[in-house]
Structure 1
């Protein structure tokens, strides 16, 4: 998944599922595919912290919104 349209579609499907674990996993895949180090630089934490944040079951909404924004997307 490298093009934005594919990532948008992938994340939209996860969001529509309503499953927070699926949303978190999908965001993790999108971040990995776009380049964890590059995304981490733009979000603020290290790439390790970013991966841990997405692995955490109760990742906060603000973190998700920042990641989605850095990916160049909008939450529905």
Structure 2
């Protein structure tokens, strides 16, 4: 799948929800959603005043979520 095909696939709301579900299963303790072509995530234990992460690609969001989780474990 080309990058353009991947973006088109996840632009479909049905597929975007599937990816959100995958990311939340892969990273317990996170809420993930997509709005206006931006993937957003926040830790469920973050105070509500903290803004969510907002990233253009699901893969980069996953990497950042993992990095934050690894930093918490260190």
TM-score by length of 2: 0.34
Higher percent of residues as helix: 1
Structure number with the higher strand fraction is 2
Larger Rg: 2
TM-score, scaled relative to structure 1: 0.33
